Structure 1
Amino acid sequence: MGVDYYAHSGIGFMVRKPKEHQDNEDFDFLEHLDEVLIDSGYGYFEIGEGAYTGEDNEIYVVLSDFRPVNNLAERAHNLKNFLIEHDLIDDADDYDLVGGLKVC
């Protein structure tokens, strides 16, 4: 049995299920993210070892591209507003360089 590792990184936020769905085990969060992020210019990735442990992986929404770098802060601020609007982060959250490994 082999183990696959996928490295991911970006500038963005760790996201959570919207508050109205946090207790709903049938809610497909990744499907929801696909719908929310379509045509947004943002991407997401998972990190963690949930495939082995059964725990939930962490999910991050990030800027799709680092360029142009001269307005990264403005674009990250726009991402924050977008994620707040869709109830995926709290107002107190701040963007950061994020990343890690997804173990499959």
Structure 2
Amino acid sequence: MGVDYSANYGIGFKLRHPQSNEKFEKEYDSNFISFFQGEIVPLINEKKDFQYFEVGEGSYDGTENEVYVTIKGGLAPIWDNALRRCADLKTFLWSLDLISLEDQADIVGGLEVY
């Protein structure tokens, strides 16, 4: 039996469950990954500067993966406008109640095992 994985990284934020979102609680029964894929991914795809990835072994063992949203472009090419782009990303995620105002952008990443 083999295990496959992908490595993911970038500058961005780890998402948290929305604090008070009726759609998340009722329509998605507080299942964050389903909520994220159904409601948030289309919004991220509209933004050309952002990307997302999951980290963890949820596909392998049934636990919930962590979700990160980062600035598109990896680490090296984004330094030109990194502060502005991080501020835009923070505002976007905060408006969706997926991070708090105290959260700071950081280098994030990990493996997704499937």
TM-score of the two chains, using structure 2 as the length reference: 0.80
1:57 is matched with 65
Please tell me whether residue 30 in structure 1 is matched to residue 40 in structure 2: no
Gaps of 5+ in 2: none
Letter in 1 for 2:40: L
Gaps of 5+ in 1: none
Higher helix share: 2
Aligned-residue RMSD, C-alpha? 1.9
Structure 2 vs 1, CA of residues 45 and 68 (structure 1 numbering), >3 Å: closer, same or farther?
closer
2:107 is matched with 97
The 1-side partners of 2:25 and 2:14 are apart by 15
Letter in 2 for 1:101: L
CA displacement at 1:48 relative to structure 2: 0.4
The 1-side partners of 2:87 and 2:66 are apart by 21
Please tell me whether residue 13 in structure 1 is matched to residue 7 in structure 2: no
Consecutive aligned runs of 4 or more in structure 1 exceeding 3 Å deviation: none
CA displacement at 1:73 relative to structure 2: 1.4
Q: Encode CA deviations 1:12-38: one digit per residue, 9 max, x unaligned.
A: 000123221257245622222212212
TM-score of the two chains, using structure 1 as the length reference: 0.87
Percent sequence identity is 40
Letter in 2 for 1:48: G
SS of corresponding position for 1:38: helix
> How many residues are matched?
104
The 1-side partners of 2:41 and 2:14 are apart by 16
